[in-house]
Amino acid sequence: MTYVVTENCIACKYTDCVEVCPVDCFYEGENTLVIHPDECIDCGVCEPECPADAIRPDTEPGMDQWVEFNRKFSEQWPVIVTKKDPLPEAEERDGEEGKMEKYFSEAPGEGG
């Protein structure tokens, strides 16, 4: 099992999760985070830290696409280990449907 970041992180990008990760397996895109599935040690400490409930175990139904999404972008984006402010529109976009199509950017974040 591994944990993955799902669609609800897009356009929110809360980073509470990165500070508790003992293996620094979060990577930052311009408007979302991902977890490298091969680096995640399945400890689960990140899941309850996410205010947007965007971190899920890969054992849940429909997670295969998110495992591949997380793998792809964790290999392209910089690691992030320090909490930052969420995106300005995070509260209003939390839980919004269709965020992948509306807002997702493949651009890397700053990391840090």
Kindly list the structural domains of the chain, giving each domain's residue range(s) and its CATH number in brackets, ordered by start: 3-81 (3.30.70.20)
Cβ atoms of 9 and 32 within 8 Å: the answer is: yes
Residues 6+ apart with CB under 8 A from 104: 10, 31, 32
In eight-state DSSP terms, residue 28 is E
State pLDDT tens for residues 64-97: 999 999 999 999 999 999 999 999 999 999 999 9
In eight-state DSSP terms, residue 20 is H
Q: Hunting for tokens 């792809």 — which residue is that?
A: 72
pLDDT higher than 90, residue 1: no
Cβ atoms of 86 and 13 within 8 Å: the answer is: yes
Q: What is the overall mean pLDDT for the chain? A: 97
Confidence of residue 30 (pLDDT cuts 50, 70, 90): very high
Q: What are phi and psi of 95, to 5 degrees?
A: 85, -5
